[in-house]
Structure 1
Amino acid sequence: MIRTIHLIILVVLSCTVLSGCGTNVKEVKQATPVNTASADAEDTSEEKTFDQTTEKLEPITEYENVTEQEDEIIMVMTINDTKVDVIWENNASVAELKELAEDELTISMSMYGGFEQVGPIGKSITRDDKQTTASAGDIVLYSGNQLVVFYGSNSWAYTRLGKINLNEKELKNLLGNGDVTITLSME
């Protein structure tokens, strides 16, 4: 009975030691390659056998199953039926506007003062108003709940949202001929 228990303990210990040895040898071998001349002079037949039976390990990336997107999802502005190129600010107001644009946000704009189009976004969002002179192409937030797009210039306290990449003449043609509809969406 005692011999049987000793034999079982010996088998369990042997399995534990042997299973751990292979892993440690592999890790040590990868961490410390041997490049010295004295090591080359030693018998390396066992080492060659080990190298031939192990597979080359590839680096593991944290996001193996995530497909990389070529382009970042961006907020797009359409004025009536014309999609315009916008450089958006990186601020809390734009982040909240992007959330609203996920379900497509349509804003009925009205001409005001001969230099801007103004329209309600439907709710108040974070604002950081600063006295500024807006110029053609500037997109700003007024009073935390109004989108303003300029085709002229004006000085007031606004939160900057972005800039349309068109010249003043193109903006005047697009925005200066009556009320427009602006749509914000994510693409």
Structure 2
Amino acid sequence: MKRTISLIILVLLSCTVLSGCGKTVKEVEQANPVNTVDADAKDTSEERTINQKAEKLETITNYENVTEQEDEIIMVMTINDTKVDVTWENNASVAELKELAEDGLTISMTMYGGFEQVGSIGKSITRDDKQTTTSAGDIVLYSGNQLVVFYGSNSWAYTRLGKIKLTEKELTNLLSNGDVTITLSME
């Protein structure tokens, strides 16, 4: 989504820059013949304007490239030896979890209630608990320091962190056969 918006902004700015350039120097000279000194001054002024606009466009392009590179670094979840695809929420809790995952965060999870795996992340992070009914694949923060991954459903006050992109059956097979180890890392 960010890339699409960034690309649209880049295209619009490019169009603005290019349309603002106007006529070429030759077209201006043919339409308005002036003495050589005035023409040289206009050339220099127009060239300066074109160069400034080109520099602005280059700055925007460089910013877009840096943003895309930052977007490519993602937090990855591995359950035992299985890497799972996760859609992460965009909130302060996930941002802090990503900081913890930079050095690799291993969490020993324990089955609980026949519908979830729970494990301590080792410290408290920002939370924004809301009454929530979870479903299979939901990843939430409980009490600010517990990671919970659901393969069933429950209602409680949690902070949403993300959603694993697996079917309920795949999640049940992965999470309901005893305690698991979850690793969070940045790739």
User: TM-score with structure 1 length normalisation?
Assistant: 0.71
Q: How far does residue 39 in structure 1 lie from its aligned partner after superposition?
A: 1.4
Partners of 2:133 and 2:102 lie apart in 1 by 30
Q: 1:57 aligns with which of 46, 51, 57?
A: 51
Q: Which residue number corresponds to residue 163 of structure 1?
A: 163
- Partner Cα separation in structure 2 for residue 173 and residue 146 of structure 1: 22
Q: 1:156 to 1:38 in 2, by over 3 A?
A: closer
Q: Whole-Å Cα distance in 2 between the matches of residues 125 and 63 of structure 1?
A: 35
Q: Which residue of 2 aligns with 1:120?
A: 120
Greater helix share, 1 or 2? 2
Give 5+ residue unaligned stretches, structure 2.
1-20
Q: Flag the structure with larger Rg.
A: 1
Q: Which runs of 4+ in 1 moved over 2 A?
A: 30-38, 42-52, 54-58, 61-72
CA distance in 2, matches of 1:65, 1:109: 42
Q: Name the amino acid aligned to 1:123.
A: K
Equivalent-residue separation in structure 2 for 1:168 and 1:110 (angstroms): 19
Q: Partner of 1:47 in structure 2?
A: 39
Q: Kindly provide the amino acid, as one letter, of the partner of residue 181 in structure 1.
A: T
Structure 1 gaps of 5+ residues are 1-29
Matches within 5 A, 1:20-169: 35=28, 39-40=32-33, 42-43=34-35, 47=39, 57=51, 59-60=54-55, 61-62=58-59, 68=66, 69=69, 71-169=71-169
Provide, for residues 81-128 of structure 1, a one-character-per-residue CA deviation record: whole Å limited to 9, x for no partner.
111111111111111101100111000001111100000000001111
Provide the secondary structure at the position in 1 that maps to 2:97: helix
AA partner of residue 47 (structure 1): A
Show the counterpart of 2:178.
Answer: 178
Aligned ranges 1:9-28 → 2 under 5 Å: none
Amino acid at match of 1:121: I
CA distance in 1, matches of 2:114, 2:97: 26
Percent of aligned positions with the same letter in both sequences? 72
Q: What is the RMSD computed on CA atoms of the aligned residues?
A: 3.3
Q: For each residue in 1:15-65, what CA deviation from the matched residue of structure 2 results, as whole angstroms up to 9, or x when unmatched?
A: xxxxxxxxxxxxxxx89967487613x45597379859x797371133787
Q: Decide whether aligned partners of structure 1 residues 38 and 108 sit closer, same or farther in structure 2, where only a CA change above 3 A counts.
A: closer
69-78 or 144-153: which moved more? 69-78
Question: C-alpha displacement at 1:72, in angstroms?
Answer: 2.3
